[in-house]
Amino acid sequence: MIPPHRRMVEDLAERGVLPSDWHAAFAAVPRHLFLPDVIIDAGTGGHVDREVDERGWLEAAYADAPVLTQVDGGDRRGPGEPTSSAPAPSALAGVMRHLRAVPGMRVLEVGTGSGYGAALLSHLLGDDAVVSVEIDFELAERARISLMGAGFTPLVVGGDGMQGWAGRAPYDRVVSGVAVRRVPYAWVAQSRPGGRILTPWGDAFHHGVLADLVVGARGTARGRFVGHTDCVWARADRAPGRLWEARPRPEPDHAATRTRLRPEDLVGDRDAAFAVGLQMPGVYRRVRRARERGDPRLTVQLVDPVTWSRASWHVDPGHGESGHEVRQHGPRRLFTELEAAHLRWVEAGRPAPTRFGLTVSAERQLVWLDDEDSVLASSG
């Protein structure tokens, strides 16, 4: 029987997702050394306990699936929101391919998490070439222990990775394991001209789009989105605390309408969700599914915390012909905005994220379609 670690590496190579220059690192660094004793599949929620089923645990450790490594920042009383995860091996291999790191470069990793990514980087580049910053001090310490157990000693810093780490700047590469709504300018300022910044980026509707930016000579960074990846939000960019628990006052003038938009038009379409979210800055979205397994009904909630405008889209497949109920409260008619944004995306030819680009300077950030003459979103 082929050991799970070897099988994972061979599978990634056969599928063509593991770059040849990273093959040795993935083969040398055991993923299971960086995972918790209870593995929770970030996609399905299923779990396996090492003490109960060690063989099953080891198989899960080398499955091509993301693994939750922390929820609610370690607070057991929280609602169960993922705050740290280990990406699926194929997703991590894709990030490393886009990173284009070679020996002799210095890399800043933001979001140490389990430490597995830092171990791979250290194997390729050497311990002294890798700095990894983790905002959660407990996670940082656990990662240090796991890294030392695997034979690696990169610099793991407990701190806010949004500020980078100036102590060893400039960097040839900056790679983030968490999604941001704005690329921190510190990453640009601490990079060499010609360096690359690779980070998940997102809006309120979708946060798994990977931005691949090249740093210019004049203190700017520019590039395109290169696909989707699995990750959690940077802590500063999560939805504001208690956003969904707050209850608006009853409004007799709320608008009740129906829509023919289907779940797959937005909730199930990551390209559409990304493009719609770009056009609705400051709005947050949550999807609530029926509690009973197999029940297809769901509710999509939208909220603008500035005006406390809200919208609820109640999706019942049994009412597909007559449309689905929508209720809107507050000065902004959020679902009306959503429908208009979705229509603009459709009329533009349903562009995938790879047609969008991002420009970052000290003063502002621009998101554009195809070229910088077609700016879709700007923030100062």
Among 158, 145, 154, residue whose Cα is nearest residue 111: 158
Is 309 marked active-site?
Answer: no
Determine the Cα–Cα distance for residues 234 and 229; give it in Å rounded to an integer.
14
Catalytic residue among 84, 85, 132, 312: 84
Determine the Cα–Cα distance for residues 59 and 225; give it in Å rounded to an integer.
33
Burial (CB < 10 A; 0-12, 13-18, 19+), residue 327, is middle
Q: Which helix (H) or strand (E) holds 227?
A: strand 221-228
201 contacts 225 by C-beta, under 8 angstroms: yes
280 contacts 204 by C-beta, under 8 angstroms: yes
Q: DSSP letter string over 314-329?
A: EE-GGGTTT-EEEEEE
What count of residues does the chain have?
380
285 contacts 203 by C-beta, under 8 angstroms: no
Q: Would you name the residues annotated as active-site residues?
A: 84
